[in-house]
Structure 1
Amino acid sequence: MADLFSPEWMRAFGDRWNAEPDLAEALAKIHFNSVIGYGLENDPTPLGVLTVEAGRVISAGAYDGQKLNWDLRADRDHWQRWKTKGLNMMGLSMAYMSRKLQFRVGDYTAMIKDPRMAGPFIKSFSVMSRVGEG
């Protein structure tokens, strides 16, 4: 399987995202457009990026200086744990409060208060767990 947040992994994540109605279709209903970076907490820039228009990933790959709406960071162990086990609302709150999940760019508070965004955000972690499946 491709390394976490590698261009190949990001493209597979984007495909899985688009195939998940609770993610792509839910975000399409609120006309969600964003450039989302994913990376490790000690790196100066994210490793991978998704560009989302009307809820669907239109491009995925390596970060190449794009202006980000969201920049999510954690250490490799936490990303692997969340990728394997997913993340629920309580776990997300704990990860954010303890700074295990960092929002370098993006408004966590506004996102978490809007169930139309919070639900799909949580769902994105379970979608990560399906990257690499047949």
Structure 2
Amino acid sequence: MPALFSDDWMVDFGNAWNDEKDLGDALAKIGFNSVIAYGFDNEEQPRGAIKVENGYVVEAGAFKGQSLNWDLRASPANWEKWCQSGIGMMGLGLAYTSGKIKFKVGDYGAMIKNPAMASPFIKSFEVMGKVPRS
């Protein structure tokens, strides 16, 4: 099984994202387009990234220095916990205020205040949990 945020894992995550209509369709309704990176909070660069166009992932893989709209970081243990049990709205708020999840790029405040973005963001953690990892 691929490691979390590895090239292969990101491709599988992108496919799982696209298979989850509650995620892609919800973001398509607001014309969501972004490049989102994921990684560990003690590393200089993210490990993986996805490119989302009109709610659906069109590119996924290892981070290659592309310009980002979002860069999400957390410890490996926290990512694993969220992959196993999801995060929920309250959990996300606690994780953000306690520094367990960091937005190196992106506006957490604007996202969380917009239900059309916040709900799919929470759903993306559930989708992460469906992707096998080592």
| TM-score where L is the length of structure 2 | 0.98
Indicate yes or no: 2:75 matched with 1:75: yes
Count of residues in correspondence between the two structures: 133
| Counterpart residue identity of residue 47, structure 2 | L
Q: Identify unmatched segments of 5+ residues in structure 1.
A: none
Map 1:1-20; keep pairs closer than 5 Å: 1-20=1-20
> Deviation of residue 9 (structure 1)?
0.3
Map 1:22-33; keep pairs closer than 5 Å: 22-33=22-33
1:127 matched residue in structure 2: 127
1:88 matched residue in structure 2: 88
Q: Tell me, in whole angstroms, the C-alpha distance in 2 between the residues paired with 1:130 and 1:63.
A: 21
> Deviation of residue 132 (structure 1)?
2.3
Q: Tell me, in whole angstroms, the C-alpha distance in 1 between the residues paired with 2:103 and 2:132.
A: 26
**Runs of at least 4 residues off by over 2 Å:** none
Q: Tell me, in whole angstroms, the C-alpha distance in 1 between the residues paired with 2:78 and 2:52.
A: 24
| Counterpart residue identity of residue 87, structure 1 | I
Between the two proteins, what is the percent identity of the paired residues? 57
Q: Tell me, in whole angstroms, the C-alpha distance in 2 between the residues paired with 1:132 and 1:80.
A: 11
> Deviation of residue 98 (structure 1)?
0.3
1:56 matched residue in structure 2: 56
RMSD across aligned positions (CA): 0.9
| TM-score where L is the length of structure 1 | 0.98
**Which digits, 9 at most, give the CA deviation of each residue in 1:25-70, with x for residues without a partner?**
0000000000000000011010000000000000000001000000
1:117 matched residue in structure 2: 117
